[in-house]
Structures are given as structure tokens and as C-alpha cells.
Chain A
């Protein structure tokens, strides 16, 4: 995969998000999570090409409304598409059916082509909707929304901790790599490189763990008893209701197209 298309941590700073406020941010975080789940379920279960194209158009519209960073979003979506390119390209040739064209003597079936198209449309529609509705929340808000949606406490805590450590470990990793570079270490495909990276990861984990122990002690000093208090009371407003009705109409249209 080309370097530019790899997903990188640079655009996400853990609790903060480089994201312009948009109409989507006026929606309740819980409503956004539920909306994406419903949308994903309908999209993944339908097979009508018309409905799927409409779903992709819908999520594109959502991405526009959410004012997603165009370049960053495009990079992520293309990275995902490249990821499954292999699978998609192979499908027309491995699915039996009516041949429509030949490549190097191999027949490509229409059924396979349709199936490949379906997968592409589904994957892109779901990812765009996910990035637009949930990816625009801070990870902390997402954690709180999940807690309000009755996701087990421990899992939510774990997520909040992980979000915090992502930043810490990411910085530590960069620092140690810079130190290695200063000592003229170049990553190559040999045992020395792999061993060095293994030591780097070991050291990274040890450093981070010691840090996490200090954090735990500090939290206990302040009376932590295994509970975070969620102070934000999330409330559904008229905007959420309007959005919910719109989404319900859109989803019933998709289901209708699928059943026809």
C-alpha cells in the first residue's frame, strides 16, 4: 500500500478532534450511534443495486452535511477500497454464471460482477456514514454515549483508557524511533531490524505499563472506586426527532426497493 494511503494518527488527537462544527453536531450522540447501526443493518442486508446506490448517495450527503475533511476522508475510503480490491477483482472470475467478457481466456460472469459491485457499494456507504455521524464525535463523547446506551461500564472505561493511552504510546513510539534513527537505524527486511522492533515494542509496553500504574495510583489517591460519573445529560431534542423521521423514511425507501 502506498505510504500516503496508510491510515495515520496525525489527524486525530485522542480527545480532541480536528473537525469543523456542523449541523451533525447538533444531534444527540446516542441518536448518531443508533442511526448508524440502523443504517448499516439495512444496507448490509439489502442486495438491490438501486437501493445500494441510493444508500451510498445518502451517506455522501451525510458526509457533506457533516463537513468531513475531503482529503482525509477520501484517503481513508480509498485505503479501504484498495484493501478489498483483490477480493473484488477476483469475484467475477470465481462466480459461475453468464460470461460477459474474457480476460486472458478467463470468463467473467455477470453475477460475479454484480456481487462485486454490491460489496463495494455497501462497504463505502457504511464507512462514510460511520465517519460522518460517529467519527465526528470526540472519543470521550462516544464513550459516554455508549455508556448511556447501556454498554457495560467496564468496556466503556476500557475505551476511555485506551483513547488516553493511544496518545501516550503514540508519542512514546515516535520518540523511541527518533532515538533509533539518531543511531543510524534503518528498517530493512532482516533479522536485526525485526529484533530491534521487537525490543522497541517490549520497551514501549514496559514504559506505558509503568505509566499506567502511576496513573492508577494517582486515581486511587483521588478516591477512584471503579466508577466514572457521567455528568453530561444527553437529551433528545426536536432536531433529533426530525432527523430520526427522515432517516426512518429513507430506510423504508431502501427496504421497499429491496423487496420490490
Chain B
């Protein structure tokens, strides 16, 4: 999901950076100091999730979990994912430096959208319904991220259109896996520690 430096055109880089900056600003504003540790935990979880490789066919996919992060954090997903991406780029050479803005936007915007779309479903009375909405959120976050990645590539040049299409197709199995995993995670969190998914609700009051 990470795009490397050098592939994208200048307008896409600048646009992504500006949009990501806006998202991070909103996220920082909505996040108070008391919730910093919680946001940090999820930011670290995103980082760890990329180690978790699940076998699939001849290859393996790694988890992204931006749906789950969005469900728990809302707008604060922007700063959380930016921090994780900075650490990945700086200490692991994973992704790039000037594309940080585009990468953050591509992963965090779906997280925020999922928050608004699936939030109501997650707090449903029946755990099964909640898990279903969680799965939907996990899968659609990946779908949206893939579309955004493909769009950033396609906008950077005609030559990338084929690669963009291939990215879309290659991520269908990832969507499926991520949906299952997120659904199960939501089910468990609801039963063990429901406050976890209600954090953001408290934030809306202040």
C-alpha cells in the first residue's frame, strides 16, 4: 500500500500532502492530551499489524487494519497513521519520505470514512450485527485505500493506469481477509472492553 518516492507526479505529491495536513490538523484538534496514550496504542498496532503475514495461496498478505483504527479513533486516525508511517519510513525504509502525505491520506481517509459509515452498526445491540458491520468496515477501508492508491498512480501518468488496475485486482483477497479479521476483533472488543470503541464518542462532546 505504500508508494515509494519518485513514482508520483508533483501535483499529486503536493495535493496529497495538503490534504493529509488538513486531516492531521483536524485530528490533532479533536484529540486531547488524555487520549494520547490510546491513540499511540493504535498507531503502534498499525505498525505491528504489518508484521502479521497471513498465508494466502502461494503468497502471503499482511494486515493493514486501517478500518479498525478508524472505528476506534475517527479523525484522530490521521495523526496516528502519520506517526506510524513516519516511523516505518525512517527506521525501516518502508515507503518514502516526500510521499508521506499521499500515503497518510490514502490510508487515513478511508479510516475516517469507515468511522462515519459503520459507527452506528458497531454499537448495535446484537453482537453478530456489530461484527458484521466491523467486517464491512475492515473490508471497505481496504477497498477505499486501494482505490485511492490506484487513483494516485493513475493521476501521475497514463503509463501507470495498467499498474493501477492490477493493484485493484491484487487487493481483493486482502479485503476479504481484513474483513474477517476486523469483524472478529470488533466482536471480541465489544464483549471484553466496549469502552474501547466508544472513545471517540466522548471526544465529540469536548
Contacts and interface: CB of A to CB of B under 8 A. Distances in A.
Interface of A: 1, 6-9, 12, 36-37, 40-41, 43-45, 73, 76-77, 79-80, 83-84, 86-87, 90-91, 94-95, 112, 115, 118-123, 126-127, 130-131, 134-135, 139, 142, 152, 154-155, 157-159, 161-166, 168-170, 173, 187-189, 191, 193-199, 201-206, 208-210, 212-213, 215-216, 226
Contacts of A83: 2, 4
6 contacts: A8-B51, A76-B92, A119-B6, A162-B84, A173-B52, A205-B68
Interface stretch (B112-120, B121-129, B140-148, B188-196): B188-196
Interface residues of B, number: 78
Given A121-B6, A201-B185, 4 more contacts: A154-B31, A155-B24, A173-B48, A195-B180
Nearest to B170: A86
Interface in B51-93: 51-57, 59-60, 63, 65, 68, 72, 79-80, 82-84, 86-93
B19 interface: no
B200 to A, nearest CB: 13
Nearest to B47: A166
A40 B5 contact: yes
A45 B162 CA distance: 24
A169 B54 contact: no
A189 B54 CA distance: 7
7 A-B pairs with least C-beta separation = A198-B184, A122-B6, A161-B40, A202-B188, A212-B37, A226-B33, A165-B44
* A interface: dominant SS: helix
B160 A139 contact: no
B168 interface: no
Contact of B6 (A44, A131, A202, A208): A44
Interface of B: 2, 4-7, 10, 13, 24, 28, 31, 33-34, 36-45, 47-57, 59-60, 63, 65, 68, 72, 79-80, 82-84, 86-94, 96-98, 153, 158-163, 166, 177, 180-189, 192-193, 196
